[in-house]
Amino acid sequence: MARIRTATPEDLGRLPAIEAAADSLLEAALGNQALPGPALPTLGEPLYVLVAGTPAVGFARVDEVGGQAHLEQLAVHPDSAGQGIGRSLVEAALDVARSRGYESMTLCTFADVPFNGPFYASCGFDVVASPAGALEALRAHEGQLGLDELGPRIAMRIRL
């Protein structure tokens, strides 16, 4: 299993390639529909970025949305998929959020893609039926970007 660690400046340059490779799997799961570019514009500096492996083969970027930790991006290179790396990154991201005093972590994802909504549910996340505040605004922004046209999207939350 790849060791989970805080990203270094050297890791950051590798992350776009990991994300692009992981997005190719997502696009295939969505019927070969192209994603409309990055799901979200960079909202500034992340709270933290964790990586798996040296060199990195996966990463989790966590931001703050509405005063809570928000898993903005989870990506594992397809060559390393199916090894538990994504789950280890989620668990590590949750641990860091707890240690920083956050009460919950949220995310937005495709509801029906097996390695999206069902995967996060297996990690303990629950669907937020009616997102409010900053999470609602984030979902609206995703809709404006065209993500909702690719498949049903949901917001999810886990209490820490």
pLDDT in tens, 20-76: 999 999 999 998 888 876 544 455 689 999 999 999 999 999 999 999 999 999 999
In the prediction, which pLDDT does 1 show?
Answer: 73
Amino acid at 152: P
Taking only the tens place, the pLDDT of each residue in 111-149 is: 999 999 999 999 999 999 999 999 999 999 999 888 999
pLDDT at site 21: 94
| pTM for this model (two decimals) | 0.94
> HSE on the CB side for 20, CA within 13 Å?
5
Topology of the domain comprising 4-159: Aminopeptidase (3.40.630)
Residues comprising the chain, all counted: 160
In the prediction, which pLDDT does 40 show?
43
